């Protein structure tokens, strides 16, 4: 059994604590950027682990557990925390040392959790995090007194400052040197009753009175900011302004970088054209590999800017406020206030959005959010929208200076949001008529300045995930579409473009009868098939299909080529289709994993496909009637 | 444990902004929350709503003053009035 001998050498340390206690910042400092982010098997709860070598030279592995208020586990996130702490997770040892992280600025609720964790009888250290902010506010904590009252060692730490964890590292070594108590049987654990919880909170309050002196004035910066940011009217206006700036940034700041990436891939394609002998292989490298991967990687800047905003707002402590402001408004549409953050993330990509729904306790509210999250306009739709708008919507100013193209883009986003709210309202009315609304209970943390380190680590992880996807799923789909569009080769005496003899043409013609009423030609039909892997692939596929058809290299001219081949009605129908179409296999996989139900995944797929067909049909037919056919 | 001050004056769920007081009791049955009374009580206690804690209603939402943000002994907690009905408070410090 090598597994056991391996864990003998490498001690396992688990970080547990309330949300917002600075646990993840502490984890980042302890493990640096060597952390591994993955999912727990079977659920899309992120599992973060990283190595730590203690000052005494001991190899350890640190596990960051999702934040929780109690081991009673109400959401999937909290189930993971409970099971990891109790050593119930399949294939995982219980931790050798538990670091219970408590915010020194507001230790009251954290201390109650510490008492609950202490009852497990596992080796434990209490870490008073954010000790610098607490000192700054005049909160003094007598660590010796606290340690004596609790019966566990107590250390302070400042996760965000160099050297702020020296005391903690020394304490970890000391704790690991002592033989731990025998682990109790995890099956013995039972959830505490309300009475026990209350007794624990009273005990925590008693200990606090002994060990902590507070000046009795809460954080004045937070209070002053909240006077505006949580104001019923001003708060909502600020939230709108933040969202507006965010979308402006995604579309304008990213432009130079995107142009640079496009230029880079064009150069690479030209180099390949020079170096490779002309023929099938050269076409494969240029159109299939370089063109395909390039057409997807170009969206990296936009995705990173969107995530930059989301990470900054999260670090700042604003996201919980946004949920507070939106609770009633979202409630009108049958959604939970906490659904706001997942839906906002879905503008970047539905997958992190669907994963973020795990903070919602109630299964029904979670399901409703998951079902509508893919309707929010994700960044993978941007290439499709940009291409078609650029080709068919004239770039002229309307209403005194607003760009018509920008307005159409905004309209597409608005329809996405409106349909998400409309569908969730419908689900609530039809599927869950009888269940009363679930409660909304959320801690609003003090504001703190976002830390460069944690934001950049978060961005780096997002970039890695995106590039891995571009390099694997998307690249392989591009190879498939290139193959289908190039094989079989046309006969020697061919009179038509080569692609008309390919498998792709046959598939496209097969789909034509179904999609003709919505105005799609067979080239679009072909592009929809690989678009199932990821929406942005449809653009690359159209490029491949039309470039192989015309024998020229696909590049920025794709738009003008389309403008000559499609009617305006077709273009508008394709836009309408893309608002709703469930064209992303990885999203469906995430929904399947997260809902743990094939039925709901199928339901999501069917209702979105139905909406897409109806919307495209209506758009096409109306446009033709108005003379745009 | 003795109640902190006089009789409970009201439910936190009915309080107006800037209300200050102390929690006298948590009686889950007073709320028609979708959670059962036992579960609601546990959740409120976990967020720090226990007898004796100082509370202040700091903010409320635009529509029907819901949800509310309550300062509970140093922590700010957002919740809906429906659940806050379970928290009996007496005014004053």
Most confident range (mean pLDDT) of A21-30, A280-289, A536-545 is: A21-30
How far is B38 from A441, CA to CA, in rounded Å?
Answer: 16
Reply yes or no on whether the pLDDT at A619 is more than 50: yes
How far is A287 from A553, CA to CA, in rounded Å?
Answer: 7
Reply yes or no on whether the pLDDT at A7 is more than 60: no
Task: Let me know: does A580 contact A417? Beta carbons within 8 Å.
Answer: no
How far is A55 from A454, CA to CA, in rounded Å?
Answer: 23
pLDDT at residue number A383: 78
How far is A179 from A200, CA to CA, in rounded Å?
Answer: 27
pLDDT at residue number A529: 74
Sequence-distant (≥ 6) Cβ neighbours of residue B30 within 8 angstroms = B11, B85, B86, B88
Over residues A471-485, the pLDDT tens digits come to 776 677 777 777 887
Task: Let me know: does A412 contact A431? Beta carbons within 8 Å.
Answer: no
Confidence of residue A301 (pLDDT cuts 50, 70, 90): confident
Q: Nearest CA to A379 among A287, A308, A458, A284?
A: A308
Of A153-162, A231-240, B59-68, the range with the lowest mean pLDDT is A153-162
Of A25-29, A237-241, A297-301, A600-604, the range with the lowest mean pLDDT is A297-301
Maximum pairwise Cα distance, chain B: 38
Contact assignment for B80 to A327 by CB distance below 8 Å: yes
B52 CB near a chain A CB, below 8 Å?
yes
Contact assignment for A230 to B35 by CB distance below 8 Å: no
- In this prediction, residues A425-453 reach a mean pLDDT of 83
Of A7-11, A100-104, A375-379, B23-27, the range with the lowest mean pLDDT is A7-11
Strands, sheet with A59-64, edge to edge from the N-terminal-most edge strand: A36-39, A46-53, A59-64, A11-17, A97-103, A124-129, A154-156
pLDDT at residue number A19: 83
Reply yes or no on whether the pLDDT at A142 is more than 70: yes
Reply yes or no on whether the pLDDT at A217 is more than 70: no
pLDDT at residue number A185: 66
- From the number of C-beta atoms within 10 Å of its C-beta (0-12, 13-18, 19+), residue A432 rates as middle
pLDDT at residue number A534: 67
Task: Let me know: does A76 contact A89? Beta carbons within 8 Å.
Answer: no
Most confident range (mean pLDDT) of A38-47, A162-171, A245-254 is: A162-171
Reply yes or no on whether the pLDDT at A187 is more than 60: yes
The fraction of chain A above a pLDDT of 70, given in percent, is: 89
Pairing of strands A97-103, A124-129: parallel
Closest in A323, A328, A444 to B62, CB measured = A328
How far is A361 from A50, CA to CA, in rounded Å?
Answer: 28
Characterise A87 by phi-psi region: left (phi > 0), alpha (psi -120 to 50), beta (else): left
Confidence of residue A554 (pLDDT cuts 50, 70, 90): very low
Task: Let me know: does B37 contact B43? Beta carbons within 8 Å.
Answer: no
Q: Between helices A254-275 and A300-316, what is the axis angle to 10°?
A: 150
Mean pLDDT, rounded, of chain A? 82
Q: How many CA atoms lie within 13 A of B85 on its CB side?
A: 12
- In this prediction, residues B72-79 reach a mean pLDDT of 90
Confidence of residue B6 (pLDDT cuts 50, 70, 90): very low
pLDDT at residue number A146: 92
Q: Nearest CA to A53 among A45, A65, A42, A61?
A: A61
Q: How many CA atoms lie within 13 A of A548 on its CB side?
A: 34
Closest in B46, B78, B79 to A69, CB measured = B46
Chain B residues in contact with A69 (beta carbon < 8 A): 46-47
Of A42-51, A77-86, A336-345, the range with the lowest mean pLDDT is A42-51
- In this prediction, residues A563-590 reach a mean pLDDT of 86
Mutate to test the interface with A, among B29, B37, B67, B68 (most CBs of A within 10 A): B67
Chain B residues in contact with A74 (beta carbon < 8 A): 43
**Tokens 């294939």, located at residue:** A91
Reply yes or no on whether the pLDDT at A23 is more than 90: no
Contact assignment for A201 to B79 by CB distance below 8 Å: no
Burial B12-41 (b: 16+ CB within 10 A, else e): bbebeeebebbbbebbbebbebbbeeebbb
Confidence of residue B80 (pLDDT cuts 50, 70, 90): very high
Structure tokens at A126: 């209490």
Reply yes or no on whether the pLDDT at B23 is more than 70: yes
- In this prediction, residues A2-20 reach a mean pLDDT of 70
> H or E element: which one contains B75?
strand B75-79
Structure tokens at A98: 């538990």
Contact assignment for B45 to A197 by CB distance below 8 Å: yes
Of A83-87, A251-255, A333-337, B35-39, the range with the lowest mean pLDDT is A251-255
How far is A484 from A506, CA to CA, in rounded Å?
Answer: 10
Burial A619-629 (b: 16+ CB within 10 A, else e): bbbebbeeebe
pLDDT at residue number A289: 76
Most confident range (mean pLDDT) of A47-56, A241-250, A618-627 is: A618-627
pLDDT at residue number A15: 92
pLDDT at residue number A555: 47
Closest in B41, B78, B79 to A194, CB measured = B41
Contact assignment for A194 to B38 by CB distance below 8 Å: yes
Looking at chain A, which residue has its C-alpha nearest residue B73? A108
Structure tokens at A274: 């020079």
Contact assignment for A327 to B67 by CB distance below 8 Å: yes
Sequence-distant (≥ 6) Cβ neighbours of residue A599 within 8 angstroms = none
Reply yes or no on whether the pLDDT at A41 is more than 70: no
How far is A413 from A243, CA to CA, in rounded Å?
Answer: 12
Confidence of residue A393 (pLDDT cuts 50, 70, 90): confident
Residue with the bigger pLDDT between A361 and A366: it is: A366
Pairing of strands A154-156, A124-129: parallel
How far is A609 from A582, CA to CA, in rounded Å?
Answer: 6
The fraction of chain A above a pLDDT of 90, given in percent, is: 21
A218 CB near a chain B CB, below 8 Å?
yes
- In this prediction, residues A283-296 reach a mean pLDDT of 74
SS (H, E, C) A64-83: ECCCCCCCCCCCHHHHHHHH
Confidence of residue A5 (pLDDT cuts 50, 70, 90): very low
Sequence-distant (≥ 6) Cβ neighbours of residue A145 within 8 angstroms = A210, A211
CB atoms within 10 A of CB A166: 13
- In this prediction, residues B64-82 reach a mean pLDDT of 91
Q: How many CA atoms lie within 13 A of A586 on its CB side?
A: 25
Residue with the bigger pLDDT between B88 and A158: it is: B88
- In this prediction, residues A375-386 reach a mean pLDDT of 84
Of A192-196, A510-514, B3-7, B56-60, the range with the lowest mean pLDDT is B3-7
Contact assignment for A193 to B60 by CB distance below 8 Å: no
Contact assignment for A106 to B75 by CB distance below 8 Å: yes
Structure tokens at A462: 């997002």
| Chain A residues 164-193 with a CB less than 8 Å from chain B | 192-193
Chain B residues in contact with A329 (beta carbon < 8 A): 63
> H or E element: which one contains A16?
strand A11-17
pLDDT at residue number B1: 42
Helix/strand/coil for A600: helix
């Amino acid at each position: 059994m090598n597994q056991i001998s391996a864990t003998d050498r490498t001690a396992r340390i688990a970080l547990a604590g309330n949300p917002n206690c600075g646990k993840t910042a502490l984890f980042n400092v302890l493990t640096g950027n060597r952390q591994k982010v993955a999912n727990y098997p079977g659920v899309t709860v992120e599992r973060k682990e990283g190595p730590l070598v203690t000052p005494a030279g001991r190899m350890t592995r640190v596990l960051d557990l999702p934040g929780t208020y109690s081991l009673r586990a109400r959401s999937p996130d909290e189930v993971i925390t409970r099971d990891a702490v109790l050593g119930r997770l399949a294939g995982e040892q219980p931790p050798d040392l538990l670091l219970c992280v408590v915010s020194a600025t507001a230790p009251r609720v954290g201390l109650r959790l510490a008492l609950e964790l202490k009852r497990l009888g596992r080796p434990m250290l209490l870490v008073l995090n954010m000790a610098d902010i607490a000192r700054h506010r005049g909160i003094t904590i007598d660590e010796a007194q606290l340690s004596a009252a609790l019966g566990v060692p107590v250390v302070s730490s400042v996760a965000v400052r160099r050297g702020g964890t020296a005391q903690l590292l020394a304490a970890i070594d000391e704790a690991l040197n002592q033989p731990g108590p025998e682990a109790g049987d995890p099956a013995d654990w039972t959830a505490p009753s309300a009475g026990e919880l209350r007794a624990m909170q009273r005990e925590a309050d008693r200990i606090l009175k002994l060990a902590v002196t507070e000046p009795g004035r809460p954080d004045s910066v937070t209070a002053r900011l909240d006077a505006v940011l949580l104001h019923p009217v001003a708060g909502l206006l600020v939230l709108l302004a933040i969202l507006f700036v965010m979308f402006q940034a995604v579309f304008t700041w990213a432009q130079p970088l995107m142009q640079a990436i496009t230029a880079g891939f064009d150069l690479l394609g030209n180099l390949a054209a020079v170096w490779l002998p002309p023929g099938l292989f050269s076409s494969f490298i240029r159109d299939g590999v370089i063109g395909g991967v390039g057409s997807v990687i170009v969206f990296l800047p936009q995705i990173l800017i969107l995530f930059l905003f989301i990470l900054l707002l999260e670090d700042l402590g604003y996201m919980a406020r946004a949920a507070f402001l939106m609770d009633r408004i979202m409630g009108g549409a049958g959604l939970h206030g906490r659904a706001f953050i997942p839906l906002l993330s879905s503008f970047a990509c539905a997958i992190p959005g669907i994963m973020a729904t795990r903070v919602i306790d109630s299964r029904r509210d979670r399901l409703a959010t998951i079902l509508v999250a893919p309707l929010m306009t994700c960044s993978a739709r941007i290439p499709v929208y940009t291409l078609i708008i650029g080709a068919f919507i004239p770039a002229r100013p309307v209403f005194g200076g607003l760009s018509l193209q920008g307005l159409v883009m905004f309209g597409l986003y608005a329809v996405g949001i409106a349909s998400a709210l409309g569908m969730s309202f419908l689900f609530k009315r039809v599927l869950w008529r009888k269940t009363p609304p679930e409660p909304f209970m959320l801690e609003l943390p003090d504001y703190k300045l976002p830390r460069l380190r944690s934001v950049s680590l978060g961005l780096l992880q997002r970039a890695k995930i995106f590039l891995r996807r571009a390099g694997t799923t998307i690249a392989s789909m591009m190879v498939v579409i290139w193959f289908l569009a190039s094989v079989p080769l046309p006969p020697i005496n061919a009179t038509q473009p080569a692609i008309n003899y390919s498998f792709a043409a046959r598939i496209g013609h097969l789909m034509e009868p179904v999609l003709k009423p919505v105005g799609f030609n067979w080239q679009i039909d072909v592009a929809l098939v690989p678009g199932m892997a990821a929406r942005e692939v449809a653009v690359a596929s159209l490029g491949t299909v039309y470039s192989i058809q015309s024998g020229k290299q696909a590049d920025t001219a794709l738009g003008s080529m389309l403008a000559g081949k499609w009617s305006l009605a077709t273009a508008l129908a394709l836009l309408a289709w893309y608002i709703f179409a469930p064209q992303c296999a990885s999203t469906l996989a995430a929904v399947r994993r997260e809902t743990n139900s094939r039925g709901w995944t199928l339901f999501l797929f069917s209702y979105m496909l139905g909406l897409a067909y109806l919307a495209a049909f209506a758009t096409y037919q109306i446009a033709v009637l108005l003379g745009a056919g | 444990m003795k109640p902190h001050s006089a009789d409970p004056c009201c439910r936190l769920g009915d309080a107006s902004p800037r209300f200050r007081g102390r929690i006298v009791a948590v009686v889950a049955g007073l709320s028609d929350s979708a959670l059962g009374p036992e579960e609601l009580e546990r959740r409120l206690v976990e967020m720090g709503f226990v007898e004796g804690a100082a509370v202040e209603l700091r903010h409320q939402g635009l529509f029907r003053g819901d949800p509310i943000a309550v300062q509970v002994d140093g922590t700010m907690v957002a919740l809906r009035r429906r659940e806050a009905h379970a928290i009996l408070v007496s005014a004053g410090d």
